A and B are shown apart, each in its own frame.
Chain A
Amino acid sequence: MTARIQDGGRARRPSRLRRRAFVGALILFAALWFGASPVAAAGETPGACVADKVEALNFGGRHGGEALAILKETAATGVDVGAEEKLKSFEKKLEGCLEAPNPIIPEVTEIIWGGIAFVVLFALMQWKLFPAVKRGMDRRAEKIRDDLDAAETARTEALEVKAGYEAELADARAEAGRIIDAARADAEGVRADLIARAEAEAAELRQRSDADVEAAKRQALADLQGEVSEIVIGAAETVIGRNLDHDTQMQLIESYIDDVGSRN
């Protein structure tokens, strides 16, 4: 963008000749414009022109305003046709005082003086103003060029810094991506480990629960069996105790003695 602006400024910079021609034309136009005014062109004001015309009027042996008054009275009577024509001619002269000069073509003296002034002014400008303006413009152009160069340098440096930042950013992003991937892998491992552990604990819990249930069942069966056997044995003991009369006792003793005696 900066380069585009720089190129455009150079493209619009006028050449020295064209710039001088433009300035000269501008000065000429200003001289023509102000030098061609009606008052300036006549060399006198309309009032002075009218006063000069009136002063130069001669009629009836009178001059000036008296002559004009006599002329008007004479013409008003309508007796003297010559007076009427002279009055009309005088009025035309007065109208000539009131008419504006040519707006395009000035008086010759005006042109001469204006040309002299123009030449002097142009020479002064060519001598003092244009070099100063040129130096100023050159300095400004140089400054702008330097600023543009500095801006370009800064832009280049900024681009380099930006490239460095972008590289660092890319590295940071890559590092962050690696860290995230590692963290994700760790998290996945932890998750898998937790799931495996939870499943193992659940399985162990189930197994323990099943074992507890089985043990409780076995214990209940054993208790029931024990109670049943106790009841049965108790009943049997009672029955046996009731049936162990003297004869039976003797038979048991004799049987014991025979059994012991048969041992060797």
Chain B
Amino acid sequence: MSSDRVSSYAEALVSVVQAEGDLAATEDELFAVAQALAGSDELRETLSDRRIPAARRQQIVEDLLGGQAAEVTTALVSMVVGAGRGGDIVRIIEAAVERSAGLRNKAVAEVRSAVALSDDQQQRLAEALQRATGKDVTIKVIVDPAVMGGLVTRIGDEVIDGSVRTRINQLREAF
């Protein structure tokens, strides 16, 4: 899928979210959905399989998200899957999140951690990242056990890696 089409879908999602209000909450939910799909190849392939009827694929989305996410979030994901763009939904959601944060004059800081971060930790981390990068950031935490310990933050193309996994990898390369 071309980047223009991804941008168009992302812009459509952001427009709908703006129209429905509570931009940040919907943004978090969409980001969580994207991370869940990114972590499951089987689910992503199922949602992008054109041999499965669109209604069936949309039903799968509604079964998974129904009751756990806002209606607008479920509807947006179902719309993308129904349009046959399930294979690009992760990229579309990430682009939408960045566009949404941009509308609020913020940059998306994707933070990977082995354990969940408290609100206080997220707040202090956002402040620290703002001081370090000069950008007002919104934290998106991804719990990833592969990190082992510490944090890995990605803001756009910039990565600040303080994970135990990276230290161990560096040690392995040093050998």
By a beta-carbon cutoff of 8 Å, the part of chain A in contact with chain B is: 225-226, 228-230, 232-233, 236-237, 240-241, 244, 246, 248-249, 252-261, 263-264
B164 touches A240 (CB 8 A): yes
- Per-residue A-contact encoding for B120-137, CB less than 8 Å = 1, 0 else: 010011011101100000
Q: Is B72 an interface residue (CB 8 A)?
A: no
* Chain A interface mostly: helix
B175 touches A259 (CB 8 A): no
Q: Taking the nearest CB of chain A, how far is it from the CB of B116, in angstroms?
A: 10
Closest to B145 in A: A241
Q: Taking the nearest CB of chain B, how far is it from the CB of A262, in angstroms?
A: 8
Alpha-carbon distance between A253 and B125 when the two chains are bound, in angstroms:
9
Contact A252/B164 with A226-B175, A244-B114, A246-B115 known, Cβ cut-off 8 Å: yes
Contact A261/B172 with A249-B149, A253-B117 known, Cβ cut-off 8 Å: no
- Per-residue A-contact encoding for B69-102, CB less than 8 Å = 1, 0 else: 0000000000000000000000000000000000
A237 touches B175 (CB 8 A): no
A260 touches B171 (CB 8 A): no
Q: Taking the nearest CB of chain B, how far is it from the CB of A156, in angstroms?
A: 104
A256 touches B150 (CB 8 A): yes
Alpha-carbon distance between A142 and B125 when the two chains are bound, in angstroms:
148
Residues of A within 8 A of B114 (CB): 244, 249
Q: Is B160 an interface residue (CB 8 A)?
A: yes
Q: Is B26 an interface residue (CB 8 A)?
A: no
Residues of A within 8 A of B128 (CB): 257-258, 260-261
Residues of B within 8 A of A257 (CB): 121, 124-125, 128, 151
B160 touches A244 (CB 8 A): no
Q: Taking the nearest CB of chain B, how far is it from the CB of A194, in angstroms?
A: 50
Residues of B within 8 A of A249 (CB): 114-115, 149
Q: Taking the nearest CB of chain B, how far is it from the CB of A175, in angstroms?
A: 77
Residues of A within 8 A of B175 (CB): 225-226, 228-229, 232-233
> Could you say which of B115, B150, B164, B172 contacts A233, with CB atoms under 8 Å apart?
B172
Alpha-carbon distance between A255 and B160 when the two chains are bound, in angstroms:
13
Alpha-carbon distance between A236 and B163 when the two chains are bound, in angstroms:
15
A244 touches B149 (CB 8 A): yes
Interface centre among A229, A232, A241, A257 (most CB of B within 10 A): A257
Contact A236/B168 with A253-B121, A259-B162 known, Cβ cut-off 8 Å: yes
Q: Taking the nearest CB of chain A, how far is it from the CB of B145, in angstroms?
A: 10
Closest to A260 in B: B128
Q: Is B48 an interface residue (CB 8 A)?
A: no
B164 touches A263 (CB 8 A): no
B132 touches A261 (CB 8 A): yes
Alpha-carbon distance between A95 and B171 when the two chains are bound, in angstroms:
170
Residues of A within 8 A of B131 (CB): 260-261, 263-264
Q: Taking the nearest CB of chain A, how far is it from the CB of B117, in angstroms?
A: 7
B171 touches A236 (CB 8 A): yes
Residues of B within 8 A of A228 (CB): 175
A240 touches B168 (CB 8 A): yes
Alpha-carbon distance between A253 and B128 when the two chains are bound, in angstroms:
12
Contact A252/B150 with A257-B125, A260-B132 known, Cβ cut-off 8 Å: yes
Interface centre among A228, A229, A256 (most CB of B within 10 A): A256
> Could you say which of B113, B129, B150, B168 contacts A237, with CB atoms under 8 Å apart?
B168
Residues of B within 8 A of A248 (CB): 149
Interface centre among A225, A228, A263 (most CB of B within 10 A): A263
Alpha-carbon distance between A8 and B131 when the two chains are bound, in angstroms:
144
Contact A253/B151 with A260-B132, A264-B132 known, Cβ cut-off 8 Å: yes
Residues of B within 8 A of A232 (CB): 175
Q: Is B58 an interface residue (CB 8 A)?
A: no
Residues of B within 8 A of A258 (CB): 128
Alpha-carbon distance between A260 and B128 when the two chains are bound, in angstroms:
6
Closest to B164 in A: A240
Residues of A within 8 A of B117 (CB): 253
> Could you say which of B129, B149, B160, B168 contacts A252, with CB atoms under 8 Å apart?
B149
Alpha-carbon distance between A257 and B131 when the two chains are bound, in angstroms:
11
- Per-residue A-contact encoding for B55-68, CB less than 8 Å = 1, 0 else: 00000000000000
